[in-house]
Structure 1
Amino acid sequence: MVHVFIIGGAGKIGQRLCRILSGRGHAVRALYRKPEQQALLGELGAEPVSGSLTELDAAALAMHFAGSDTVVFTAGAGGKGDRR
């Protein structure tokens, strides 16, 4: 079993990855921002981790990543249109 931490687990790619990895028996933890995303990640087989990548400092990220064999970044660029 591989321990995977997914940044952006509630997005389209992140959701698919959560489902696939947990379905293969891997331990998945996924970072989410919005409260309504917590239940979705649980349904996909991931352990939801609350937090915003833009607000967590390096020490907090390191704490979340502890015990992970790999970290996958699937978060979007943010913003819309030209801001993206």
Structure 2
Amino acid sequence: MLYTTEMLRRARAIDLWVTLKGLGKQGVSELVWELHQKAVYFSELLKEAGFEILNDVVFNQVLARYESDEKTSKLIKEIQE
């Protein structure tokens, strides 16, 4: 059977719905809070390592810069390798 993109998208939506339903409102709230706390912790570790944190960590994303754009690019390349 050939699966279409739409069928695969619907299957992922069902997985997401089941997960959210299983966690419940309180569980989703705790999950979001935990992700935020981990991002704050990660930003603190980066700051201690000499990175500049470029954003207020209000959810789960951390935007960091290392000394210069060139050094940041070099570090990213090394991490990816």
Q: Which has the higher contact order (CA 8 A, sep 6+)?
A: 1
Q: Pick the TM interval, shorter chain.
A: under 0.3
| TM-score normalized by the length of structure 1 | 0.25
User: More helix per residue: 1 or 2?
Assistant: 2
Judging by fraction of residues, say which structure has more strand: 1
Point out the structure with max Rg over C-alpha. 2
Could you tell me the TM-score, scaled by structure 2's length? 0.25
